[in-house]
Structure 1
Amino acid sequence: MSDESLEEPSLAERLARLEERVARLEEGGAPVEPVGASAEAGALWALAGLKDRMPAPGAVLFTGTVDLPTGEHYEWQEGRTTEDLIGADWTQGAAALAALAHPVRLLLLREVLLGTRTTAALGEHEQLGTSGQLYHHLRQLVAAGWLRAEGRGEYAVPGERVVPLLALLQAARR
């Protein structure tokens, strides 16, 4: 490997690649690697699209496409401008966030997403506690909208909550 291959592209080279990308995008061609970006930066394609659509002061976008082991498929996207988010009443989300603030409830949600949906089957899980504790946690998750009762003793994560739940979990890992 020569030293030349390690050098950053010149401004002229970067501009030429940028012009090529714009031309390809306008023609509807295949996407190309971002100008002057490493492979890691190429992972920011969603951010680049958001910035194109929402100039300063910006916005926050959550989006996802999910295939669950149960065969269910969900696609979801929601975004808000920075001004909307900062100006909103943040206390409105407190109950939904509080319902997720217990390890047993997070485990319950994961088990339901994986296909364990009945209270009888959930009750067999050694980490979910007694039946009284299980019902307490199920009620909390239903009240906050993270679970929905689908019949006698059967629960599901509402479709409109699947991607937001996974997005929150990803955000909490940071």
Structure 2
Amino acid sequence: MTAEMDELRQQIRDLAGRLDALESQRGGAGNRAAPTVDGDAFWALEGLNARLADDAVTAEGAVMLVGSLTLPTGAPVAWQQAAGTAGMLEVDWSDHAAVFAALGHPVRVELLRHILSGVQTTAGLAAIEGLGTTGQLHHHLRQLVAAGWVRQGGRGSYEVPAARIVPLLACVLGVER
């Protein structure tokens, strides 16, 4: 079994190399955001696959969000979330539409970016050009709070909960082409 896994890992590395070569030929090499550790572009995937091989519950597969960063404010954030995929494609996803919809407005996405960058008061956000009137700002903040992307830390103060930062950044990464 180990020889088969080694061969599969080598095939994945070879495919990654071929993909890199194709992307660089068309000028898209910078779009590939797979960080490497010790030259292995799929280190996280290999770790997940190793865990899956040892767990009968997740034998059908799993998805995982993981990230570690320091915000511009200096606050460290680390988050990991995983779920087995058994039945995931068979259940109704419509309950999640409102959470995705909250990210569907350019002002809301900008609000999230500014809040993560340290502008967390209503007054500070209102001073940013292009975010609309105070009434529009409050409307967008209410939508983000209702969807769970933002929480109100105090009167006129907002923050992105730590448990939402890595999933949010994963969404941003996921829409890059």
- The TM tier, using the shorter chain, reads 0.7 to 0.9
Q: In 2, distance between residues paired with 1:58 and 1:136?
A: 39
More helix by share: 1
* Alignment partner of 2:52 out of 51, 54, 61: 54
Q: In 2, distance between residues paired with 1:75 and 1:115?
A: 17
**Residue 38 (structure 1) shift:** 5.3
Structure 1 unpaired stretches of 5+: 1-14, 20-33
Q: In 2, distance between residues paired with 1:44 and 1:96?
A: 30
Residue 131 of structure 2 is matched in structure 1 by 128
Match of 1:165, SS state, is helix
**Residue 39 (structure 1) shift:** 10
Instruction: Give aligned pairs, total.
Output: 144
Structure 2 unpaired stretches of 5+: 18-39, 54-58
TM score, norm. by length of structure 1 = 0.75
Residue 30 of structure 2 is matched in structure 1 by none
Q: In 1, distance between residues paired with 2:15 and 2:63?
A: 23
Give the partner amino acid of 1:45: W
Residue 122 of structure 2 is matched in structure 1 by 119
Give the partner amino acid of 1:68: L
Residue 144 of structure 1 is matched in structure 2 by 147
**Residue 158 (structure 1) shift:** 0.7
Larger radius of gyration: 1
Matched ranges for 1:62-73 at <5 A = 62-73=65-76
Matched ranges for 1:22-101 at <5 A = 35=10, 37=13, 42-55=40-53, 56-101=59-104
Deviations 1:29-62 (A, max 9, x none): xxxxx64635956211111111112245321111
